[in-house]
Structure 1
Amino acid sequence: MSTHIGPVDVDALRARLDRATTAASIAGLDGLLVTPGSDLRYLIGAGGSSFERLTCLVVPVGGTPLLVVPKLEHPGYAGVPTDELGVEVATWVDGEDPYALVARALKGTRHAVSDMTPALHALRLRDVVGGEQVLAGPVLRELRMRKDAAEVAALRAAGAAIDRVHARMAEWLAVGRTEREVGADVAEAIVAEGHAVAEFVIVGSGPNGASPHHDLSDRVIEAGDVVVVDIGGPLPGGYCSDSTRTYVLGEPRHDDVWRTYAVLQAAQAAAVGAVRPGVACEAVDAAARDVIADAGFGEFFVHRTGHGIGLDVHEEPYVVGGNDLPLEPGMAFSVEPGIYLPGRWGARIEDIVVVTADGVESVNTRPRELVVLPA
């Protein structure tokens, strides 16, 4: 069942729908089909997930938007300002064909379907709508990549909330505890500090820190361990945090930790310093990657430098080699180089930054040095 995600600016939502319609027309589309997920949140302020019953926002070019929703789930949309947005609503009950409702609202032969639409619905829509279906992502990401002032404020709030969790890490991260025990406490704190949910908690201690997407395990944290803590999630309004800091319990076990970490810190600073309007995403990636490679650790930096963030933790733009997209004010993304030494230890530093009119703003302000906690 979908849920409204909090106070919304009706004028802002109406402008988004208008821009989406215009962008669809420019792309040669006859309409958009948007199922529950972050695209639907962006356009009408409704959260939720897709289930076996179809919910779909139909945005025809040159027509009236229509929200097709199961009657039993309609109460979950009570807070969505459909009347003010000029969105008609059509409910359906089990035994009726919701896909036919969508088809009747469409004109033309070329439509875009939101990227995360389950195959269960995408294939049925294809069958009844006919013509050509393409992904809506290339259209909607052009709107969502450029955050407005309210979205940037939401990301600042998310950054401050996750910073408060990192500031408390000494409460939980200690020798003799398992990663899973630490992770449970951190997840509870993420919610206590203002998030709707802890979407992810990575506590990678010792050799587990060399796996960038390590989750949690029953490994007991030991004195001298380097520990990567990557945490985040959405605030009640839907906008997400994502921040990584690296800790060490007492004196590092490995004698190369301080020298290697200094390289990583320089790489992260170089990448953040490269961010400004007009710079290509790939140039920001190169700014971090070159520092790491020049120090002899190139093969141990095994992922892109960053990903966009907003209503999704991972969205456009991606800060990666080969992406020549120029940065523009309002674009928000992570800057998170890492160095991972298999079987030994790893480290990552991650901030969320926003491109400003003349440079960059970081929404995370915690120290980026290797944080030493008591052993």
Structure 2
Amino acid sequence: MTSRWTRAQVAAAEQGVDALIITPGADLRYLTGYEAKPLERLTALVLPSSGDPLLVVPELEVAAAVAANVDIELAAWGETDDPFALVASRLADASRIALDDHMWAERVLALQAALPAATVSLAGDIVRPLRVRKDADEIDALREAAQAIDRVHARMGDWLRPGRTERAVGADIARAIVDEGHVRVDFVIVGSGPNGASPHHEVSDRVIEPGDPVVVDIGGTMPSGYCSDSTRTYVAGGEAPEAFVAAYDVLLAAQTAQREYARPGVTAESVDEVGRQILREAGYADLFIHRTGHGIGLETHEDPYIVDGNAQELEPGMAFSVEPGFYLPGQYGARIEDIVVTTPSGLEVLNATPRDLVTLG
């Protein structure tokens, strides 16, 4: 992890930032390897643009930090100590500090009070460009995550059938996510029939009926900290509505075109437009109500976002989802989602389960 925080130091210095302060979350794990608990007691990485970093930890969390093999000086604070004063003592001469983007507001205010002379900015501008390009080890971790969630989708026929509730199917899926290697279930969406028209529907007590289209969007976190995320749309026995099947064929064409188009040098927004244009020409433009994709890594949603207005060019090592969908309120919905990684010569698709409409049960 040393190379990561040294690169962050260089980037901070280039932007005129004297120090980063990073509290528990994905940025801290990225820079140190330590998955600290987000407790009410302050844990913070103090990373000056020059000099040695310091990890401020509550005394009762020292053993956890040591067990994580954090190769950084630790500064423990006792139950009645002021950890913000401890941070400030390390940054007495700092005139500009950058705080991690997801820091709790009470901590932002406490640090501002402890360092009143310092200008505060967001550390995301420094850390985000580092995290957005995955190295070989990170890509291996994402491959492992994709293979694990693929194994869950491959077992869908064991659970998804008419007569069962979404909640019962979701419980089976959640157990399988852990069984297949994840340490944590992050989300389980089982949207049957009209519930499939809500992209972020989770589960309900609705009984799945024959011929229901069912959107299954699932993901979890692996021991490495890297995340999985994959969506497939199934038919639960019987015959799906003809209009749905016709729309699904267009959706599959759109997602295929996006996967074939995405590569280094094209913009994120152009990937979105390739699929959106196909849906638009078929009359489904108004039913595609979300962006095409999001980055993935130590967080399920991170940069780059594949959406209109994002003119960022894709670069080798960027990992993101390609997941167009359509949603007809009160009737049904569909989504096809793969995690992909840009390579020097094109694109690697990490998920391998069938994308064609599969009938189960």
TM-score range, shorter chain: over 0.9
**Aligned to 1:319, which of 306, 326, 329?**
306
1:133 is matched with which residue: 110, 120, 123? 120
Amino acid at match of 1:309: I
Contact 1:158-1:235 within 8 A present in 2 as well: yes
2:334 alignment partner, SS class: strand
Partner of 1:93: 78
Residue 145 (1) aligns with residue 113 (2): no
- 8 Å CA contact 2:321–2:338 kept in 1: the answer is yes
For 2:26, the aligned partner's letter is S
Per-residue CA distance 1:235-283 (angstroms, 9 max, x = gap): 0110000000000022334220111000000010111111111110001
Residue 361 of structure 1 deviates from its aligned partner by: 0.3
Structure 1 residues not aligned, in runs of 5+: 1-12
Which secondary structure state, in structure 1, belongs to the residue aligned with residue 203 of structure 2? coil
Deviations 1:102-131 (CA, angstroms, capped at 9, x unpaired): 111113211111111111212111111222
| Equivalent residue, structure 1, for 2:282 | 295
- The reply on whether 1:219 has 2:199 as its aligned counterpart is no
1:333 pairs with one of 320, 326, 329: 320
1:347 aligned counterpart, secondary structure = strand
Matched, 1:72 2:57: no
Q: Map 1:255-266; keep pairs closer than 5 Å.
A: 255-266=242-253
Query: For the Cα contact (< 8 Å) 1:229–1:244, is it kept in 2?
Result: yes
In structure 1, C-alpha distance between the alignment counterparts of 2:52 and 2:115, rounded to whole Å:
17
Report the secondary structure of 2:185's partner residue.
coil
Measured in 2, the distance between the counterparts of 1:253 and 1:259 equals 10
Q: In the alignment, is residue 27 of structure 1 matched against residue 15 of structure 2? A: yes
Corresponding letter in the other structure for 1:90 = A
Find the counterpart in structure 1 of residue 48 from structure 2: 60
* C-alpha distance in 1 between matches for 2:115 and 2:305: 32
**Aligned positions, number:** 359
User: Which residue, 158, 174, 183 being the options, matches 1:187?
Assistant: 174
Aligned pair 1:121/2:107, yes or no? yes
Instruction: Write the deviation string for residues 117-162 of structure 1: whole angstroms up to 9, x where unpaired.
Output: 1112121111112221111111101000000000000000000000
SS in 2 for 1:54: coil
Structure 2 CA distance for aligned equivalents of residues 105 and 363 of structure 1: 43
Distance 1:57 1:301 in 2: 41
Matches of 2:53 and 2:308, distance apart in 1? 38
SS in 2 for 1:212: coil
How far apart, in 1, do the equivalents of 2:357 and 2:37 lie? 39
Q: What SS does the corresponding residue of 1:240 show, helix, strand or coil? A: coil
In structure 2, the partner of 1:7 is none
Query: Equivalent residue of 1:173, what SS?
Result: coil
Q: Deviations over 1:288-334 (max 9, x none)?
A: 11111111000000000000000000000000001010000000000
Task: Tell whether the 8 Å contact from 2:162 to 2:237 is kept in structure 1 after alignment.
Answer: no
**Inter-partner Cα distance in structure 1 for 2:175 and 2:36:** 22
For the residues of structure 2 that align with 1:150 and 1:88, how far apart are their CA atoms?
A: 25
Kept after mapping to 2: 8 A contact 1:50/1:118: no
- State the Cα distance separating 1:81 from its structure 2 match: 3.1
Corresponding residue of 1:269: 256
Inter-partner Cα distance in structure 2 for 1:252 and 1:316: 39
1:57-97 deviations in whole A, cap 9, x for unaligned? Answer: 00011121010000011111122334xx3x22110111110
User: Contact 2:255/2:275 (CA < 8 Å) preserved in 1?
Assistant: yes
Aligned to 2:2: 14
SS at match of 1:287: helix
Assess if the C-alpha contact under 8 Å between 2:161 and 2:237 holds in 1. Answer: no
Give distance in 2, aligned partners of 1:285 and 1:48.
35
Question: Is residue 41 of structure 1 aligned with residue 29 of structure 2?
Answer: yes
For 1:356, give the aligned amino acid.
T
Provide the residue aligned with 1:247 in structure 2. 234
Out of 103-112 and 196-205, give the one that drifted further: 103-112
The residue that corresponds to 2:189 in the other structure is 202
Q: Which amino acid aligns with 2:96?
A: R
| C-alpha separation in 2, matches of 1:79 and 1:49 | 14
Moved over 6 A (4+): none
Length-normalised TM-score, structure 2: 0.98
2:95: which partner in 1?
109
Deviation at 1:345, TM superposition (A): 0.2
Change (3 A) 1:275 1:253: closer
The answer as to whether partners of 2:45 and 2:53 remain within 8 angstroms in 1 is: yes
Asked if the contact 2:12–2:49 (Cα under 8 Å) also holds between the matched residues in 1, the reply is yes
Q: Partner residue of 1:3?
A: none
CA RMSD for the aligned pairs? 0.9
SS in 2 for 1:182: helix
- Asked if the contact 2:211/2:238 (under 8 Å) is kept, the reply is yes
